[in-house]
Amino acid sequence: MRASRALAVAAAACVAVGLSAPLAAAGGDNNQNTGPINISVNPQAVHPGGILTITVQGCNRGGTVSSSVFPTTNLSGNQGGRATATARVNDNATPGQYHLSVRCNDNPQVATQQFTVLPARGAQGGLGGSVGPSSTEMALGGGLVAAAAVGGTLFIARRRRVISGKV
């Protein structure tokens, strides 16, 4: 009786595996490199020197991302069929629309995605040293230096008299 139960369980397991094998074969791009699809660029618009994050599906074995405004970058990680790359836009990139190209390893297909380079932002500084002092500021500064010199001389002369006892 025990042997017949074990045989029934083994037969049921074989049937379950046998029936699920065609489903696994039909659904499965899990181990195949289908090429780059669903490319997303974040942010879509960036200033020169800014960072772009590119996310791609379909590059299960990695790949590369390239553009004319940043160096070729490798896709890394494969979480849930998504690979990512981080690229820094060149500081001297001119504003305008650009395309990036994604190519998976082991697959000749190339997919592109558009992004925008915005005009460069200048330094948000003030005048800070770019303007010299005016004649009023020079006169005021000279007067303060002269007052400090006279005051220091009087202090030292008065202190010398007090120390020697001749007040």
Peptide bond into 43 cis (omega under 30): yes
Reported as a single tens digit per residue, the pLDDT across 88-132 is: 999 999 999 999 999 988 788 899 999 999 998 766 666 666 677
Whole-angstrom CA distances from 17 to 11, 28, 42, 128 are: 10, 16, 43, 76
Q: Both 57 and 107 in a single domain?
A: yes
Q: Assess if residue 24 is contained within a domain.
A: no
Lowest mean pLDDT among 4-8, 13-17, 57-61: 13-17
pTM of the model: 0.54
Question: Structural domain tally of the chain?
Answer: 2
Cβ-based neighbour number of residue 90 at 10 Å = 15
Q: Both 163 and 109 in a single domain?
A: no
Q: Both 143 and 104 in a single domain?
A: no
Say what the pLDDT of residue 28 is: 42
**Domain carrying residue 76:** 37-117
Q: Both 144 and 109 in a single domain?
A: no
Q: Both 109 and 147 in a single domain?
A: no
Selection from 106, 104, 109 nearest residue 85 by Cα:
104
Reported as a single tens digit per residue, the pLDDT across 63-82 is: 899 999 999 999 887 777 78
Q: Assess if residue 21 is contained within a domain.
A: no
Tokens for 4, please give them: 């017949």
CATH number of the CATH domain containing 101: 2.60.40.10
